[in-house]
Amino acid sequence: MYNRKRIARGAGTAVATWALIGLLVMSTGVAFALPLAGVGGFNITASQITADDMVLYPGVGNTDSEENFPQTVVQLSNTDIQEFGLTKDLDMGSLPMSPLPGTVRIKFMSPGGTDGGNILVKSTALRSDQATFNDFLTNDTNASDARGRWSIRSDGPVTLQGTDRSGVQIRAHYLAADRISITDLRFFACYDADDDGTFEWGPCSADTSAGDGSGNTGPTADAEASETTVGAGDTVSFNGSGSSDPDGSIASYEWDFGDGTTATGQQATHTYDEPGAYTARLTVTDDNGTTAIDSVTVVVEGNDPPMPSLTASSTTVEPEQSITFDGAGSSDPDGSIISYEWDFGDGTTATGQQVTHAYADSGSYAATLTVTDDDGATASNSVSITVQGDDSLIASAAGSPGEVMTGDTVTFDGSDSSASNGTITSYEWDFGDGTTATGQQVTHTYDTAGEYTATLTVTDDDGDTATDTVTTTVTNNTSPTAMPSVESSTTEAGVELAFDGSGSSDPDGSIESYEWEFGDGSTATGTYTTHAYSSPGEYTATLTVTDDDGATDTATVTVTVDENDAPTASASTSSTSVETQSEITFDGSGSSDPDGSIASYEWDFDGDGTVEATGEQPTYSYSSADTYTVTLTVTDDDGATATDTITMNVEECGFLGWDWTC
């Protein structure tokens, strides 16, 4: 499979080493493809290695020490290596015929892409910050030699990726390829005379990272935009003058505006045609070929079209009668109107916010105003003009209202139509939705949202016809929102609660009705209402609101009705044995209510079922001697009652000693 055009195998010889150093120096900066030989035991670095598939053949070795890596063979197919770097350190003192002490470092660098065919790497270490495998498979070969019993395979795309140039590292013994093409190949040799890690000669650092081998410090890109929020069609100025290079100069500026278009130069302008968020990227390249990128985001907003509005001083005129047309009511929600163009429907036009025109011939004309805003958007509106003549038949159609919702009734009126030399015998309407009607004045309901053109055709007694149109805009009705409230969500049986629906609303009309269902079988209507629940429990009160277009909405509130505890009646008096005609004070103040208050006291002093007094402490006198049952009935604030009784013994008053007791 491989013709073993090897990059590095073995330590090489002194002659080969010095020949290679000479080749490196002479070939710096030359782009070409060649087989490489003469260097062994090297490090390979890259920012990304991508291949169609990979096979890894691990071996078995002593890995007790961190430096003892297992011996492996990595086979890659159709390989692409980004920011390829190969580094080899040579101990000059160990080489035969070496005239120098110290260390020579040899660096192969390719800032551009490296394209390889089938590559075979025998390595002691393979490291990647990120690795992506497809169809990953570990295979046991059943070989008797433990060093070759298994392999790791990935048949799909394989990507080894790092965050920088040294993100992928391979410690290799040899690298063999049947084909390798290196773009912008750079060779460098550096010399460390005393092995102190500092290279006294050549563009190398003390580590084994690839770098770019040139000692160049990369540039800094700075992308600026004159505006970051614009309208479609607006021009944006981009400026890269803030970019810099600390050890050279910026050689080129390349702009990618994020919409498929590009430009070059330190400053550029661009116009975005469609709304959206675009990332404009500036790539700067310095005089050593190193690049840097910066970006700026530009948000392009969609333009709202203008809204034309026109009036005519008269819509029914005689020939040659001047009409003033005015577009001053037109507006633009996100800018300004820059032009007014009029088409009078008779082949003549004009420009300006306010114009005048006279029609030469009788007939029906549509005068159209087209306005253009400062972002180039246009919109049109028109008004019907009737020019009457001695023998003219004029159709005049009107619709009211001009903007309705689905389900609303529109009244169409043709009563302004005229026949100057006869009479109109028929009015025929085509409402533009497939339905028709006849009559001078008709009504129609549109079921689907849209813009409809109703056409009136009038016929006179000579069979002549004339037509006129009227446009009606129909939109969908937005349902109302029901929002009920109750003065208290917890109450007791018999307590009257106030319910309020005034928080309900309708975004495109008004609420016509409020219907309440209290959850106990009772109902009510109106914005405000009251209700008392007779039994304890949890009730759901539902409010249904209906708007002026018939749409409804419902919402609920929950009311918890607790069980009412009855009061306790307590009746007392200072004495239960009294005489007739003596005034007795009765006392009900000992009565109580455990969950409320006593609302009323009713006293029946003689047991006849009639209430003789009310209040907490009434007085009473008996006129006849007898035994009486006094009954106190108390009622609490929830309507519950309780009774208590006293037995009174009443005797006739008489002579006692020297005094009468009555």
Q: Where are the beta strands (DSSP E) in 1-157?
A: 5-7, 42-46, 48-51, 54-58, 72-76, 79-91, 103-116, 119-128, 130-132, 136-140, 150-154
pLDDT on residue 194: 74
Q: Can you say whether residue 415 is alpha, beta or left, with left for phi > 0 and alpha for psi between -120 and 50 degrees?
A: alpha
Same domain for 579 and 649, yes or no, is: yes
Same domain for 553 and 579, yes or no, is: no
Question: What is the identity of the amino acid at 276?
Answer: G
pLDDT on residue 84: 65
pLDDT on residue 213: 45
Distance (Å, whole) CA 42 – CA 54 = 21
pTM, rounded to two decimals: 0.31
Distance (Å, whole) CA 464 – CA 456 = 14
10-residue mean pLDDT profile of the chain (662 residues): values are: 29 32 30 34 57 55 45 60 66 64 67 55 53 54 46 54 51 54 58 70 47 65 94 91 93 96 96 91 92 92 88 91 95 91 96 95 91 89 85 81 87 90 91 95 93 94 90 90 94 90 92 97 96 93 93 96 89 94 94 92 95 96 95 90 95 66 60
Same domain for 34 and 183, yes or no, is: yes
Same domain for 155 and 130, yes or no, is: yes
Say if 199 falls within a structural domain.
no
Say if 582 falls within a structural domain.
yes
Here the tokens at position 184 are 């912008």
Same domain for 527 and 616, yes or no, is: no
Question: How many domains does the chain fold into?
Answer: 4
pLDDT on residue 301: 84
SS3 20: helix
CA-to-CA dists, residue 366 to 70, 168, 340, 600, angstroms: 90, 75, 16, 81
Q: Is 3 exposed, middle or buried (0-12, 13-18, 19+ CB in 10 A)?
A: exposed
Same domain for 32 and 180, yes or no, is: yes
SS3 476: coil
pLDDT in tens, 203-240: 554 333 333 445 567 899 999 999 999 888 889 999 99
pLDDT on residue 178: 54
Same domain for 163 and 244, yes or no, is: no
Q: Judge whether 56 and 23 are in contact, CB under 8 Å.
A: no
Domain carrying residue 277: 224-301
Here the tokens at position 106 are 């040899």
SS3 494: coil
Which residues are within 8 A (CB) of 330 and not within 5 positions of it... i.e. 6 or more apart?
A: 306, 307, 308, 309, 310, 337, 340, 369, 371
Distance (Å, whole) CA 190 – CA 198 = 10
Same domain for 36 and 163, yes or no, is: yes
Distance (Å, whole) CA 621 – CA 623 = 7
| Torsion, Cα of 53, 58, 64, 65 (10° steps) | -50
Here the tokens at position 509 are 């009309």
Q: Judge whether 270 and 263 are in contact, CB under 8 Å.
A: yes
pLDDT on residue 390: 56
- Residue identified by tokens 């900066």 is 29
Same domain for 551 and 587, yes or no, is: no
pLDDT on residue 76: 61
pLDDT on residue 451: 94
Q: Would you give the DSSP letter of residue 11?
A: S
pLDDT in tens, 235-257: 999 999 999 999 899 999 999 99
Same domain for 184 and 243, yes or no, is: no
Same domain for 557 and 589, yes or no, is: no
Same domain for 600 and 625, yes or no, is: yes
Which residues are within 8 A (CB) of 131 and not within 5 positions of it... i.e. 6 or more apart?
A: 158, 159, 160, 161
Q: The CATH number of the domain where 240 resides is what?
A: 2.60.40.10
Say if 34 falls within a structural domain.
yes
pLDDT on residue 5: 27
